[in-house]
Each structure stands twice: as C-alpha cells, then as structure tokens.
Amino acid sequence: MRPVIATAELAALLEADPRDRPTVLDVRWRLTGPPASDSYRAGHLPGAVFVDVDSELSSPPGPGGRHPLPDPAALQRVLRAAGVRESHPVVAYDDGDSSVAARAWWLLRWAGHAEVAVLDGGFAAWEAEGRPVTTEVPELAEGAEGDVEVRPGGLPVLDADAAAALARNGVLLDARAPQRYTGETEPVDPRGGHIPGARNAPFSSHVAPDGRWRSPEELARHFAALGVAGDVPVGAYCGSGITASSVVLALEVAGRVEPAALYAGSWSNWSADAGRPAATGGEPG
C-alpha cells in the first residue's frame, strides 16, 4: 500500500465488499483545543472510528515528553477496538496538513503493521469534493473486533543521546515552525531553541496550499537541499513527536528507502533537561 492515498481511491475502496474495506481512523487533533472529538461527532467519513491522539496514541505526559509512545499492550487494545486487523489496510486522516494522520501512520508502521496510508488532503479535501460525510458512529459487530498484533520496532526510534549524535554525524531535522526552531518563541515547552546541529525542516513544507502532499520529486528536492543524500543517516523531531512523524512519511514519499528515525520525546523531552544545550538563531549551531 502506498503511504499516501487519494480521495478517489479511498472512495472506491469504501464501496467494496465490507470484508475488504480498509479500516478508517479519524485522528483529528489540535494542540490547544477545542477537542477534535466534537468535530468527529459533527461529521466524519463513513465508517471512520475516532482515535484520540492524547489519550490513545500516546502515553501520559512525563519525563519522556508530552506525547510519549504508547504502551504496546495499550496500543494493541486501542487498535483492536477500532477494528484494525492483521494484514488489512488502514487509512488515517486529520483535518489539517496530514501531520497528525502521519503520527497514526508512523505508530502502525512502528507496531509492525505495513498496510497503512494517510488520506491525501484529509477531511478537508474529502468534504470539498462533495463526498459522503456522516454523523453515525460505527459499531463493530460481535466477533468483528480487530486482531492486530502490536510488535514494536518496525521503524527506528531515537532517544536524546542518539538524537544529539545524529545531529553531529548525520542529518537531524527539526519539524517545528521556524520561530520555535530559532527560539524566538516557545509557547509550550520549558525553553526555546533547537538541538545543536539540527536543521529546520517545517512539517508544513510537505503539503501544498490546498493541503495535498507535494510530489515525490518536489519532496526529494526539498530534502536534498537540507543535506539528505545517499545513505546519510537521517532523523527527525518536533515539539512532542507528533508532527515529526510527517517528516518520516515525507521522506518515504520522496523515495528514501532507509526509514528516518524518530526522536519520539522530541523537544519536550530535550528541553526539560537543563543539562542539555539549546542552540538559537537560524543556523544549526
């Protein structure tokens, strides 16, 4: 399954035999609210199941960051309750720039589930094309619960020390907005700036103004300008590991074979340790 799926292709799949339809996950989320569950109840793709990023696709905030990776057993329960089945396709969408849907994509891939994609353009593109939207909340029939097995390790993960080393010896991409990278502003975490040596690669660069993903060729040029070339090791981080997932996805769309590593704790983990340095300004430092 390609990592990004077009609205027309998903619409056709949803018309197929129920046994062959992909599981659709609505993962709309907003950093400062309001709750995205309200948007889900107001209208969502037919058959889509809402999964909460804060409480179901992350562990509680703590030393590991604001959105630590979920406990594998807990994630397995969430995915099974949503109907995710072994070797069966899953499509995730949000209503922004697909960076939150990329978190769901990344988690499923990390958990060992290969058949997963992000909806190109998300809910906005689906609705703009006049495709069906419903307020009906699906209920799994008895015996139709998912049977997915969560097997962590499908995608590489960095801790703080590994991220620091990668910034020195490879390419570490900071997916946050430029103002947070430079340290001009920091609305959420304890202090501003970036990991020394990291290069700014805002997650918003992966999509066009209409919210659809840029072409593989455009993304390849974008990452080449950031120093991603050949077999150089690459990693990504953001504020708390959500939007950096879209860097990993965008690199795959661009044709990179070796997956980029994700610093799951990201800046929320790094900045909480006063002993770790922070660079400021527009250069890697």
Instruction: Provide the pairing of β-strand 157-158 with 199-200.
Output: unpaired
Q: 149 CB contacts (<8 Å, ≥6 apart)?
A: 76, 86, 112
Asked if 136 and 143 touch (Cβ cutoff 8 Å), the reply is no
Q: Which one of 92, 171, 238, 244 is the catalytic residue? A: 238
Using alpha carbons, list the distances in angstroms from residue 200 to 37, 172, 225, 238, 247: 31, 9, 11, 10, 11
DSSP code at position 86: T
User: Cis bond leading into 70, ω under 30°?
Assistant: no
Torsion of CA 77, 103, 42, 89, to 10 degrees: -60
Using alpha carbons, list the distances in angstroms from residue 230 to 19, 23, 83, 157, 220: 41, 35, 39, 20, 12
3-state secondary structure 51-65: CCCCCCCCCCCECCE
Name the strand (E) or helix (H) holding 26.
Answer: strand 23-26
Long-range contacts from 33-42, C-beta under 8 angstroms, 24+ separation: 36/95, 39/95, 41/135, 41/137, 42/135
Residue 238 annotated as catalytic: yes
Closest CA to 45 of 99, 101, 88: 101
Q: Which residues are catalytic?
A: 238
